A and B are shown apart, each in its own frame.
Chain A
């Protein structure tokens, strides 16, 4: 594929593959504690408004090694969710009134039990979102029918495309990723994804290729729509503009490029209480590949488990989860900067 240019931090035994080292570094920036910022704006403790979304990380295995990946995913990561843990997820979902199950990874499609899991969720009538990296669709013949599979289960496909040019996309996601992403987008369009009136939703995700904040989501969406249509005849529904959070590989990038302090200051200065009020962790729980429960995917990667009675699916306690306070730390500034950031784009 020509995209496997790096090893994960874990495979390199890099210091920042360890969560305690990351948390220590986040404190060292010596900035206003996020908790204090919440207190000053009347938002501490940050509480939940229910469990509407299950975001499930089905594994860290991926065909790409993106420079900004907060999961530190890659082909060398073997941690993937077992069928037993998936069953625990299904049992837990049955105990809630959640509307949406958001599947992420790694490349979730690489989990051999992925299709079975989607079928089960679809049968429950849940809205299923798959965070598809696009290139997986064209990575191997066995994935070529993914667009049809997604269509069959009316899966909402959410895919990263950092820019509408190859240079910016490939600099973040690996050589050749842009070209393969365009091929995959065409395959999705061909079965109706992103096409008006089809009822099949294809959303794209922009995140900055570097140490800067994302642009206005609305303005960028218009630009993406025009450029992708004009240059490649590609259509999609919505664009989410997401801020990079200082976790794992993006944190390593910030340090290595001498942008860490400046970026953190930028996030703190851009703190927006309206964005903080709308953060996604208030209505989401995040499940790790091994069944542990977190407030969000970032807390999951920092191993900050929920402050609730049952921290594992085997002890799932909805009441406790619905009444928990969110665990916060300095990385949370990434979700509250400017117009805010979530897996569904801006929040303010």
Chain B
């Protein structure tokens, strides 16, 4: 193994079932169902997935859902807005902990 991430590995995702077929099948069945049109459209779900891919910083997911959102008819503006949603939540999640810091600061200050 020369690198931790290899773009070719994305194509092998389905092979995770080799080591545990039953759970692998359950996962992929579940995964397939999640992304079907439902109360949310498949396109809305794809944009959510693109945002989450960035939040979890998964290069495989970013590659897959960049293509998938394009294949759902999204343009670059919509895709970048989705990334900003992830960014806002991530940075908000950092900043809201500032309240905890302030609480503690106040607790131990005169």
Contact = CB atoms under 8 A, between A and B. Distances in A.
Interface of A: 163, 165, 167-168, 206, 208, 210, 212-216, 219-220, 223
A165 B70 contact: no
Given A219-B41, A219-B43, A214 B75 contact: no
A163 B74 CA distance: 10
- Interface residues of B: mostly helix, strand, loop or mixed? helix
Contacts of A223: 73
Interface string B63-94: 00001001111011100000000000000000
A258 to B, nearest CB: 12
A167 B67 CA distance: 18
Q: Which of A165, A210, A215 has the most chain B CB within a 10 Å cutoff?
A: A215
B48 interface: no
Interface of B: 41-43, 67, 70-73, 75-77
Given A165-B77, A212-B67, A215-B71, 13 more contacts: A163-B75, A168-B75, A206-B73, A208-B70, A212-B70, A214-B71, A215-B43, A215-B73, A216-B42, A216-B72, A216-B73, A219-B42, A219-B73
Nearest to B11: A265
Contacts of B71: 208, 212-215
Q: Which one of A210, A212, A220 has the highest number of Cβ atoms from chain B below 10 Å of its Cβ? A: A212
Contacts of B41: 219
The 4 closest A-B pairs by CB, nearest first: A215-B73, A220-B73, A212-B70, A215-B72
Contacts of A165: 75, 77
A213 B73 CA distance: 10
A165 B43 CA distance: 18
Contacts of B77: 165
A220 B72 CA distance: 8
18 contacts: A163-B75, A165-B75, A167-B76, A168-B75, A208-B71, A210-B70, A212-B67, A213-B71, A215-B71, A215-B72, A215-B73, A216-B72, A216-B73, A219-B41, A219-B42, A219-B72, A220-B73, A223-B73
A85 to B, nearest CB: 39
A222 B50 CA distance: 22
B38 to A, nearest CB: 14
A216 B44 CA distance: 13
A256 to B, nearest CB: 19
A261 to B, nearest CB: 11
A331 B14 CA distance: 27
A220 B43 CA distance: 10
Contacts of B43: 215, 219
Contacts of A220: 73
Most buried by B among A163, A213, A216, A223: A216
Contacts of A214: 71
Contacts of A163: 75
A322 to B, nearest CB: 37
